[in-house]
Chain A
Amino acid sequence: MIQILNLTKDYDSLRAVDQINFNINEGEIIGFLGPNGAGKSTTLKMMTSFLPPTDGNVIVDDLNIYDNSKEIRKLIGYLPESNPLYMEMTVYEYLEFVSKAREIPESKFKSVLKKTIEKTGLASVISKPISTLSKGYKQRVGLAQAIIHDPKIIILDEPTSGLDPNQIVEIRELIKELGKEKTLIISSHILQEVQAVCDRIVIINKGKIVADGSTEELKAGFKGRNRLHINFIGNANIVDEIPEKIPGTKISSLEKKDMSSEVIVEYSSDSDFRPEIYQWIKSTDIILLEMRREHVSLEEVFHSLTLEGGDSNEI
Chain B
Amino acid sequence: MSGYGKSTNDVPLEGSIPTGTAPLESILCTEELQRRPSRPPDYEKENRALVKLVSALADSPGTIFQTLAETIQDITQCDSAGLSLLTKDGKKPHVEGQRFYWPAICGMWNPHVGGGTPRNFGPCGDVLDQNRTLLFTHFERRYPYLMPVSPTAEECLLVPFYVDGKAVGTIWGIMHSERRKFDAEDDRVMASLGKFASSAYQSWMHIEDLEIQVAKREKAEAEVRDLASGLEAKIRRLVEANVVGIVMWNLEGTITGANEAFLHTVQYDREDLAAGRVRWKDLTPPEWSDRDERAIGQLKATGIFQPFEKEFFRKDGGRVPILLGGALFEGSGNEGVAFVLDLTEQKRQESARVYSEERYRVVVETASDAVVNVDDKGSIVFANPATATIFGYDPAELAGKPLTLLMPEYMRELHQTGFKRYLATGRRHMNWQGTELTALRKNGEEFPVEVSFGEITRDGHKTFTGFLRDISKRKQAEQALRRSEAFLAEAQHLSHTGSFSWRVATGEITWSEQLYRIYELENSVPVTLDLIRTRVHPEDLTLYERMVEEARIGASDFEWQYRLLMPDHSIKYMHALARPTRDQDGQLEYIAAVQDVTARRLAEEARDKARSELTHVARVTTLGTLTASIAHELNQPLSGIVTNASTCLRMLAADPPNVDGARETARRTIRDANRASEMITRLRALFSKKSAVIQSMDLNEAIREVIALSLSELQKNRVILRPELAHDLPLVTGDRVQLQQVILNLLRNASDAMSTIDDRPRDLLIRTEPEDNDRVRLSVSDVGIGFEPQAADKLFEAFYTTKNEGMGIGLSVSRSIVEHHHGRLWATPNNGPGVTFSFSIPCRPEGLTSDGTRAGRIPSVSDAA
* B is bound to A: no
